[in-house]
């Protein structure tokens, strides 16, 4: 009989942050700056920080938001590139962690398996597994802050393809890119049309014999400048901090105007995007076949291509787009429903992500399991009926980090409010239990639709709506108070004994 893994002594923390990516590093910095007396740790299941920007290694990986808004408000983005590649973003994140002394608080190879809340003790008991040794440990914390995003790191989404086992070439998913993959001079088919596909295609086309982007449905694609000339000019004459602040404000307004225009005038936006695409593509190119989606702009996220690199490789003949459905794989490539066959040596399945809420950790409150679809999102950062639990989910229609910063500020103000009034517990509870609800992420992307039934819901009014408007969130999370009739504050028996 094998012995069970050794357990270490129980550690007590004020806050436990799960995830050392862009959200976790941001949360830790705000916590250390605003509430320096709080004890905290960052647990990261992988061997390195950076989250998405360390995990993904596929060719050309970059941001699809400008780094003046995707970067932290507290740390100016100094690089010349505005749409930056992953190594530059990763260096920026790790520099932020180093500058704020966060490495000493970060524990790698630590995966949170589950957490149990005790109302009597006003604490979470957290089960942790060492991913390198298998050892299991337990610690407790007053607050649990989940900063792991919303998709699975261990696997991406790949549909079932008929006859895939017959294919004699190489099949890779961008989420698990082989370091030594050689595609120089080879025929490549990239399945997909989202942000990953439009990044991989031009990057691989530089050395591949030819790259075909095979899509079932077109996506809106817009060229954007890789270098923001205005931003670099402002930094030159005003200095990095003031120049960054002004550029950030400019880009926030610009993002909002573009999104608002697309939502308010979808037909005009569609015509404008088509006009831009037509100017970027060769004369006579079938734009409506390959770049005219059946949905309105921003029903799903627009794809940005820096300096029009996707269009450039299409013009040069190094890449092409095929819009069709896959009937199955053959030994030499992919057979389409139209009867056409695409020959391939390498197939890249840029077919999306698998959504996983809160890193897959199980939550229980006073012995009862938390079923996420039965909970409501409070201010886009807490869950109804779940005390002292916060999470970081950014924008889907703008730069992710714009919301993370506001959430972290609000989280710190909330903890300060509890301390100032002698509370140790707060629990969101809707005044109307029968409130109408809608999906947690009101977004048309396939990876969201596949997981919608396993996620929390949102309500039909504030504070139970998950806002995707930065201006509204400034009012709600930065300017607005933390006290709310639907956020119940209390003192545990342990706290009451300490204060008497």
The tens digit of pLDDT for each residue in 252-261 reads: 999 999 999 9
CB 36 within 8 A of CB 102: no
CB 462 within 8 A of CB 394: no
User: pLDDT tens across 118-144, in order?
Assistant: 999 999 999 999 999 999 999 999 999
pLDDT band at 448; cut points 50, 70, 90: low
Q: What pLDDT score does 78 carry?
A: 93
Rounded Cα–Cα distance for residues 383 and 146 (Å) = 12
CB 380 within 8 A of CB 467: yes
Rounded Cα–Cα distance for residues 46 and 293 (Å) = 37
Token code pair at residue 394: 């950014």
Task: Return the ∠ at Cα 289 (arms to 163 and 190), rounded to 5°.
Answer: 40
- Closest to 31 (Cα-Cα) out of 46, 45, 13: 13
The pTM for the full model equals: 0.92
User: pLDDT tens across 70-113, in order?
Assistant: 999 999 999 999 999 999 999 999 999 999 999 999 999 999 99
**CA distances (Å), 452 to each of 157, 357, 437, 456, in order?**
15, 10, 12, 8
Q: Is 500's pLDDT higher than 50?
A: no
Rounded Cα–Cα distance for residues 154 and 292 (Å) = 33
- Closest to 146 (Cα-Cα) out of 407, 480, 441, 396: 407
User: pLDDT tens across 199-232, in order?
Assistant: 999 999 999 999 999 999 999 999 999 999 999 9
Rounded Cα–Cα distance for residues 150 and 469 (Å) = 19
User: pLDDT tens across 327-356, in order?
Assistant: 999 999 999 999 999 999 999 999 988 888
> For the purposes of burial, counting CB atoms within 10 Å of the CB of 382, is it exposed (0-12), middle (13-18) or buried (19 or more)?
buried
């Amino acid at each position: 009989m094998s012995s069970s893994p050794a357990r270490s002594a129980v550690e007590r923390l004020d806050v436990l942050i799960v995830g050392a990516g862009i959200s976790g590093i941001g949360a830790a910095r705000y916590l250390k700056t605003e509430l320096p007396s709080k004890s905290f740790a960052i647990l990261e299941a992988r061997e390195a920080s950076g989250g998405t920007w360390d995990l993904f290694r596929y060719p050309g990986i970059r941001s699809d938001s400008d780094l003046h808004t995707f970067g932290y408000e507290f740390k100016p983005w100094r690089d010349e590139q505005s749409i930056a590649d992953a190594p530059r973003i990763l260096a920026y994140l790790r520099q932020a962690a180093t500058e704020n002394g966060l490495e000493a608080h970060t524990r790698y190879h630590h995966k949170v398996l589950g957490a149990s809340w005790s109302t009597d003790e006003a604490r979470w008991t957290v089960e942790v597994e060492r991913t390198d040794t298998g050892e299991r440990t337990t610690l407790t914390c007053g607050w649990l802050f989940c900063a792991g995003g919303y998709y699975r790191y261990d696997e991406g989404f790949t549909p079932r393809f008929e006859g895939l086992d017959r294919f004699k070439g190489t099949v890779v998913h961008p989420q698990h890119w082989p370091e030594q993959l050689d595609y120089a001079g080879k025929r490549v088919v990239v399945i997909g049309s989202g942000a990953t596909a439009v990044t991989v295609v031009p990057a691989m086309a530089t050395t591949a014999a030819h790259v075909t982007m095979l899509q079932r449905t077109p996506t809106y694609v817009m060229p954007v400048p890789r270098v923001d000339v205005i931003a670099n000019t402002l930094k030159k004459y005003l200095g990095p901090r003031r120049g960054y602040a002004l550029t950030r404000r400019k880009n926030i307004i610009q993002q909002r105007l573009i999104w608002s225009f697309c939502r308010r005038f979808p037909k005009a936006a569609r015509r404008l995007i088509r006009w831009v695409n037509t100017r970027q593509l060769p004369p006579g190119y079938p734009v409506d076949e390959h770049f005219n989606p059946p949905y309105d702009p921003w029903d799903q996220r627009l794809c940005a291509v820096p300096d029009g690199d996707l269009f450039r490789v299409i013009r040069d003949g190094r890449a092409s787009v095929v819009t069709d459905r896959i009937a199955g794989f053959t030994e030499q490539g992919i057979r389409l429903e139209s009867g056409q066959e695409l020959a391939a040596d390498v197939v890249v399945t840029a077919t999306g992500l698998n959504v996983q809420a809160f890193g897959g950790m199980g939550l229980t409150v006073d012995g009862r399991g938390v079923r996420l679809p039965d909970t409501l999102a409070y201010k886009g950062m807490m869950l109804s009926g779940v005390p002292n639990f916060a999470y970081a989910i950014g924008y889907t229609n703008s730069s992710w980090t714009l919301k993370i910063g506001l959430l972290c500020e609000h989280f710190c103000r909330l903890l300060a409010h509890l301390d100032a009034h002698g509370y140790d517990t707060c629990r969101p509870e809707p005044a109307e239990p029968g409130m109408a609800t809608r999906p947690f992420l009101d977004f048309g992307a396939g990876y969201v639709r596949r997981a919608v039934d396993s996620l929390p819901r949102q309500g039909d009014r504030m504070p139970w709506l998950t806002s995707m408007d930065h201006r509204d969130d400034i009012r709600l999370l930065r300017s607005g108070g933390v006290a709310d009739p639907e956020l119940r504050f209390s003192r545990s028996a342990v706290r009451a004994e300490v204060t008497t």
